[in-house]
Chain A
Amino acid sequence: MRGISFEVGAGDSIGIVGESGCGKSITLKAILGLLPVNAKVTRGNIYVNGTDVAGHSKKERRALFSEIAGMIFQDAIAALNPVITVGEQIAEVPRFRLGQSKEQAHATALKLMEQVGISDAEHRFSLYPHQLSGGLRQRIAIAIALSGKPKVLFCDEPTTALDVTIQAQVLRLLLELRRDEGLGLVFVTHDLAVVNEICDSIKVMYAGKFIEVGGVKDTFSKPTHPYTYSLLKAAPDPDVAVSRLFTIEGEAPNLILPVTGCPFSPRCFASTTECLAKEPQLISIDGSLSACFNGAEHTKWKATDAKSGAHA
């Protein structure tokens, strides 16, 4: 991750997309202070309600974040404690942080379980994670994330491990929470179609940086960065069958080596000599931000690409 800026307000829904290894998950972990020991935030600020918390100690930061943020992970079975019943895990925060009595916390947990669409909550309260299906486990994880009454829910690939019908249920639930409770969503995923379904704005990440930032509708209809354009074309569309899928040549760069020039230039069909020399920064193009020297000429290179058929 190399220089990332964004903000989330109440009721916002932001999708961060990119391929594996581009730094999407690390972005969330850095904000929430969950980085592994071999990683650290070397520069930059993190603001919570206007206060910079990057310099805070772990404890201070935890206290602040516990009031505003919740997080759900890709792998719900790893995120849940296998030897405590799911109900107790949900009741933990209301009991010990919100200071509720055991009975109150129990009632709060049941209410949360109903809110995330778990039927027969009373019975399921006393089950262990292994006794539940994948979809139910992810609902429990969402209930735990909601138990501290967060303003923003950070979601790290929450539906990637789920079946498509269950994924639809969980996405629907997140949409409802956002609409009814004004919950902000930061949604990290590699699945563009999921972003299209539930987010308003999109941030496309490549080699540790945002390379395109904009509204979902704008970005999907007229991407201004060649990477976004290629990614959108490479994603198979369930509504349309094509004879041949669009491919992006090459592989994402290894960030152990220093980056010179635009990190996408070796794989880019529109790259120029300028791209090899300097690394482009985000600039405003047609209402969205794009880190491409040729971003303003997006209609031109799209037309050339379509004509050349190099990828067709």
Chain B
Amino acid sequence: MSTINTSTSPETNPIAAKDLVKHFAKKQTLANRIKKTPIFNVPAVDGVSLNIQTGETLGLVGESGCGKSTLGRTLVGLYSATSGSISLYEKEVSNSRTLEDRRAVQMIFQDPFSSLNPRMTVGDMLSEALLFHKLVSKEKVKVRCLELLSLVGLPADAVDSYPRQFSGGQRQRIGIARALALEPKVLIADEPVSALDVSVQASVVNLLMDLKKDLGLTMLFISHNIAVVRQVSDRIAVMYLGRIIEIGPTEEIFRNPSHPYTKLLLSSVPKMSIGSQISSAPAGELPTMLSAMTGCRFRSRCPIAISDCATKDPQLVEVNKTHQAACLMVN
């Protein structure tokens, strides 16, 4: 199914980012203009480097406002990066992507209601993408649409229906079919199951896992739901205020979290084990990124912060070969 002219040897990463930065300009108010206050940009993503290997699912977790969705959208190309580079199969694409580059990275959105055009039938939506990218001829487009629908477990008559005729779980399947229509190499799933009920959530997660295995997809799974991320990811990256502060294999992160924020996050998750009662509640609120920051971003909430944390900006260091954390107190 590949028509993308890139080598797919296991050594080349389907998608990688280096020192990726995305700033959003804060609106300049009249008062500030008169006072000549310099414009401060909100660093939503502030120097992120990561690579995802072929066939791997990288789970990206963090609290709201930490920049995980911005990172996902920048990787897809919905936002242009302020600085840093993105490469697909070792080929730098950054802010000028060809049609093929764009095809190779597709996205699934959180909200299955607003991400589908209410005035287009499912068939129209799928054929629009297929025809625009000239993947099939006009005569064969209907057949391909039906194939895609059966791939995501929707009935064939869905092709002539409108999004409003479907439930949340079914709509999310339509969103997945639309992303898969372009035969992508990399799928960026931004909170794909957060809007769904538990019973439906499980079936969509299973579908994503099956598709990933069958089609050899590489996936970035963005979610705030740590329990779901644990089920789907090979590796986990934890984000805090625009930075990745810990990254490593899923089981390693759960068994041996090294960054104090990861520890806090994992201990805050309500558990299913019988008799569990929330024992310790973390202090403090998530700071906003509206002010420039020096030192470690987590130090205001950190139980083990030392004076060095206020001045030194911790970089990711190795805990072991596969596991890195950005904390001065690691090791």
Residues in chain A within 8 A of chain B (CB atoms): 19-20, 133-136, 163-169, 171-173, 175, 190-194, 196-198, 216-217, 220-221, 230-232, 234-239, 241-242, 244-249, 251-252
Contacts and interface: CB of A to CB of B under 8 A. Distances in A.
Given A133-B285, A245-B206, A168 B197 contact: no
A196 B277 CA distance: 8
A288 B125 CA distance: 49
Contacts, number: 136
B178 to A, nearest CB: 21
Contact of B269 (A172, A238, A252): A238
Contacts of B206: 244-245, 247
Nearest to B301: A165
A contacts with B: majority SS: helix
B277 to A, nearest CB: 6
Contacts of A249: 203
A172 B271 contact: no
Number of chain B interface residues as a range: 35 or more
Given A238-B226, A244-B206, A164 B278 contact: no
Given A164-B269, A165-B63, A171 B199 contact: no
A239 B224 CA distance: 16
B4 interface: no
Interface string B200-233: 1111011001000000000000001111101100
B72 to A, nearest CB: 18
A234 B204 CA distance: 12
Contacts of B283: 169
Contact of A197 (B205, B230, B270): B270
Contacts of A190: 197-198
Nearest to A249: B203
Contacts of A191: 270
Contact of A196 (B199, B231, B274): B274
Contacts of B275: 217
Interface string B249-265: 01100100000000011
Contacts of B169: 251
A252 B168 CA distance: 12
A196 B202 contact: no
A19 B286 contact: no
B30 interface: no
Given A163-B286, A164-B268, A236 B199 contact: no
